[in-house]
Structure 1
Amino acid sequence: MSQGLLDAQNGRPRDDDPSGLTRRSFLKFSASVAALAGGGLILGFSLPARSEGDVRKTVIGGDGVETAQNGVLAPNAFVQIDTSGKVTLIVPKVEMGQGVYTSIPMLIAEELEVPLDSITIDHAPPNEKLFFDPLLGGQLTGGSTSIRYAWEPMRRAGAAARALLINAAAQQWQVDPATCRAQNGQVVHAATQRTLEYGQLTEAAARLPVPSDVALKDPKDFKIIGTMAKRLDSPEKVDGSAMFGLDVRLPGMVYAVIVNCPVFGGKLATVDDSAAKKILGVRQVVKIDNGVAVVGDHTWAAKRGASALKITWDEGAGASVSTRTIVADLEQASRGTGAVARKEGDVGSAFTKAKTRVDAVYRQPFLAHATMEPMNCTVHVQKDSCEIWVGTQVPTRARDAGAKVTGLPAENVAVHNFLLGGGFGRRLEIDGVTQAVKVAKQLDVPVKVTWTREEDIQHDMYRPYYYDRISAGLDENGKPVAWRHRIVGSSILSRFAPSTIKNGVDPDAVEVAAALPYDLPNQLVDYVRQEPDAIPTAFWRGVGPTRGTFVVESFIDELAVLAKTDPVQYRRNLLDKAPRALNVLNLAAQLSGWGSALRKGQGRGVCVMHAFGSYFSMVADVTVDQGEVRVNRVVCAVDCGMVVNPNTVEAQIQGGVIFAITGALYSEITIEHGRVLQSNFTDYRILRIHEAPEILVHIVKSGEAPGGIGEPGTSATMPALANAIYAATGKRLRHLPVGEQLRTV
Structure 2
Amino acid sequence: MLTNFNPKELPRALQNMIVRDQGTASASPPRRAFLKVMGLSGLALGTFPGMAPAQQANGLKPTEQPLAFVQIAPDGVVTVTINRLEFGQGVQTGLPMILAEELDADWALVTARMGSDDPAYIDPVFGMHMTGGSGAIKHSYTQYRELGARARAMLLTAAAQRWNVDVSTLQTRAGKVLGPGGRQVGYGELAQAAAALPVPQKVALKDPKEFRIIGRATGRIDAKAKSSGKQAFGIDTRLEGQLTALVARPPVFGARLKSVDEGAARAIKGVRAVLRVPLDRGAEGVAVVADGYWNAKRGRDALKLEWNTDDVEKVDSEQQLARYRELAGQPGNRKFDADMAPLAGAPLSIKADFVFPYLAHAPMEPLNCTVKLDDGAAELWTGTQMPGLDAIAAARVLGLKQDQVKMNVAVAGGGFGRRAVPTNDFVVEACQIAKAARAAGVVAPIRTVWSREDDIRGGYYRPMHLHRAHIGFDAIGNVLAWDHAIVGQSITAGSPFEPFQVKDGIDGTATEGMRDPYPFPMRLTVHHPQQNVPVLWWRSVGSNHTAFVMETLIDEIARMTKQDPVAYRMKLLSSKQVRHRAALQLAVDKSGYGKRRLAAGRAWGVAVHECFDSVVAYVVEASVKDGEPVLHRVTAGVHCNLAVNPRSIEAQVQGGALMGLSMCLPGAAITFKDGVVEQSNFGDFAVPRMTSMPAVDVHIVPSAEPPTGIGEPGLPPLAPAFANALARVTGKPLRDMPFKLA
State if a TM-score over 0.5 links the two structures: yes
Once the two structures are TM-superposed, the CA of residue 526 in structure 1 deviates from its matched residue by 4.1
Q: Distance in 1 between matches of 2:134 and 2:316?
A: 33
Once the two structures are TM-superposed, the CA of residue 57 in structure 1 deviates from its matched residue by 5.4
Aligned to 1:325: 319
Decide whether aligned partners of structure 1 residues 197 and 505 sit closer, same or farther in structure 2, where only a CA change above 3 A counts: same
Once the two structures are TM-superposed, the CA of residue 525 in structure 1 deviates from its matched residue by 3.3
Aligned to 1:672: 673
Q: Distance in 1 between matches of 2:705 and 2:53?
A: 42
Contact 1:257/1:295 (8 A) holds in 2: yes
Contact 1:136/1:143 (8 A) holds in 2: no
Amino acid at match of 2:58: G
Q: Distance in 2 between matches of 1:50 and 1:708?
A: 33
SS in 2 for 1:508: helix
Is the aligned partner of 1:613 residue 2:634?
no
Contact 1:605/1:720 (8 A) holds in 2: yes
Q: Distance in 2 between matches of 1:295 and 1:538?
A: 29
1:183 pairs, out of 164, 167, 173, with 173
Gaps of 5+ in 1: 1-32, 37-44, 66-72
SS in 1 for 2:182: coil
Contact 1:492/1:538 (8 A) holds in 2: yes
Is the aligned partner of 1:62 residue 2:58?
yes
Aligned to 1:12: none
Matches within 5 A, 1:260-271: 260-271=249-260
1:304 pairs, out of 293, 298, 314, with 298
Q: Distance in 1 between matches of 2:349 and 2:629?
A: 31
Q: Distance in 2 between matches of 1:546 and 1:135?
A: 24
Aligned to 1:633: 633
Q: Distance in 1 between matches of 2:144 and 2:334?
A: 38
Q: Distance in 1 between matches of 2:432 and 2:101?
A: 45
Decide whether aligned partners of structure 1 residues 380 and 720 sit closer, same or farther in structure 2, where only a CA change above 3 A counts: same
Q: Distance in 1 between matches of 2:214 and 2:581?
A: 27
SS in 1 for 2:512: coil
Once the two structures are TM-superposed, the CA of residue 683 in structure 1 deviates from its matched residue by 0.7
Decide whether aligned partners of structure 1 residues 668 and 472 sit closer, same or farther in structure 2, where only a CA change above 3 A counts: same
Contact 1:63/1:210 (8 A) holds in 2: no
1:239 pairs, out of 228, 233, 240, with 228
Amino acid at match of 2:379: E
Cα offsets for 1:148-205 (capped at 9, x unmatched):
012110001101111222233234444443332111112112x433223223333443
Aligned to 1:280: 269
Q: Distance in 1 between matches of 2:287 and 2:45?
A: 41
Aligned to 1:211: 200
Is the aligned partner of 1:166 residue 2:166?
no
Contact 1:479/1:563 (8 A) holds in 2: no
Once the two structures are TM-superposed, the CA of residue 115 in structure 1 deviates from its matched residue by 1.8
Amino acid at match of 2:433: V
Is the aligned partner of 1:517 residue 2:507?
no
Aligned to 2:466: 467
Question: Over aligned residues, Cα RMSD in angstroms?
Answer: 2.3
Once the two structures are TM-superposed, the CA of residue 671 in structure 1 deviates from its matched residue by 0.3
Cα offsets for 1:449-508 (capped at 9, x unmatched):
111111111113100011112232213422223333332212212225112123323222
Matches within 5 A, 1:347-426: 347-351=339-343, 354-426=346-418
Is the aligned partner of 1:91 residue 2:85?
no
Is the aligned partner of 1:734 residue 2:738?
no
Q: Distance in 1 between matches of 2:173 and 2:600?
A: 60
Cα offsets for 1:538-572 (capped at 9, x unmatched):
11111211111011101111111211212222112
Greater RCO (Cα-Cα under 8 Å, separation 6 or more): 2
Amino acid at match of 1:555: L
- Kindly tell me the number of residue pairs found equivalent between the two proteins: 684
Decide whether aligned partners of structure 1 residues 575 and 63 sit closer, same or farther in structure 2, where only a CA change above 3 A counts: closer
Amino acid at match of 2:340: G
Once the two structures are TM-superposed, the CA of residue 106 in structure 1 deviates from its matched residue by 0.3
Aligned to 1:490: 489
Q: Distance in 1 between matches of 2:57 and 2:349?
A: 67
Amino acid at match of 2:517: P
More displaced 10-residue stretch of structure 1: 699-708 or 320-329:
320-329
SS in 2 for 1:539: coil
Q: Distance in 2 between matches of 1:59 and 1:452?
A: 47
SS in 2 for 1:664: coil
SS in 2 for 1:652: helix
Aligned to 1:441: 435
Decide whether aligned partners of structure 1 residues 247 and 203 sit closer, same or farther in structure 2, where only a CA change above 3 A counts: closer
Amino acid at match of 1:205: A
Aligned to 1:20: none
Contact 1:600/1:728 (8 A) holds in 2: no
Once the two structures are TM-superposed, the CA of residue 436 in structure 1 deviates from its matched residue by 1.3
Decide whether aligned partners of structure 1 residues 647 and 329 sit closer, same or farther in structure 2, where only a CA change above 3 A counts: same
Amino acid at match of 1:412: Q
Q: Distance in 2 between matches of 1:610 and 1:715?
A: 9
Q: Distance in 1 between matches of 2:136 and 2:458?
A: 28
Amino acid at match of 1:125: S
Gaps of 5+ in 2: 1-39, 279-283, 438-442
Decide whether aligned partners of structure 1 residues 377 and 62 sit closer, same or farther in structure 2, where only a CA change above 3 A counts: closer
Amino acid at match of 1:80: Q
Aligned to 1:541: 539
Once the two structures are TM-superposed, the CA of residue 74 in structure 1 deviates from its matched residue by 6.1
Amino acid at match of 1:718: A
Contact 2:54/2:197 (8 A) holds in 1: no
Is the aligned partner of 1:114 residue 2:105?
yes
Once the two structures are TM-superposed, the CA of residue 425 in structure 1 deviates from its matched residue by 0.6
Matches within 5 A, 1:451-600: 451-494=450-493, 495=495, 497-500=497-500, 501-514=502-515, 516-520=516-520, 522-531=521-530, 533-577=531-575, 578-595=577-594, 596-600=596-600
Contact 2:369/2:427 (8 A) holds in 1: yes
Structure 1 outlier segments of 4+, above 4 Å: 33-36, 55-59, 134-137
> Percent identity over the alignment?
39
Contact 1:318/1:673 (8 A) holds in 2: no
Calculate the TM-score normalised by the size of structure 1: 0.87
1:334 pairs, out of 312, 328, 332, with 328
Cα offsets for 1:195-238 (capped at 9, x unmatched):
23223333443344322221111111110001111110011223
Q: Distance in 2 between matches of 1:639 and 1:602?
A: 27
Decide whether aligned partners of structure 1 residues 327 and 438 sit closer, same or farther in structure 2, where only a CA change above 3 A counts: same
SS in 1 for 2:670: coil
Q: Distance in 2 between matches of 1:331 and 1:543?
A: 22
Decide whether aligned partners of structure 1 residues 75 and 705 sit closer, same or farther in structure 2, where only a CA change above 3 A counts: closer
Once the two structures are TM-superposed, the CA of residue 600 in structure 1 deviates from its matched residue by 4.9
SS in 1 for 2:659: helix
Once the two structures are TM-superposed, the CA of residue 349 in structure 1 deviates from its matched residue by 4.2
Amino acid at match of 2:704: G
Once the two structures are TM-superposed, the CA of residue 591 in structure 1 deviates from its matched residue by 2.3
Q: Distance in 1 between matches of 2:604 and 2:310?
A: 48
2:425 pairs, out of 403, 421, 431, with 431
Amino acid at match of 1:93: R
More displaced 10-residue stretch of structure 1: 146-155 or 430-439:
430-439
Decide whether aligned partners of structure 1 residues 297 and 458 sit closer, same or farther in structure 2, where only a CA change above 3 A counts: same
Contact 2:605/2:724 (8 A) holds in 1: yes
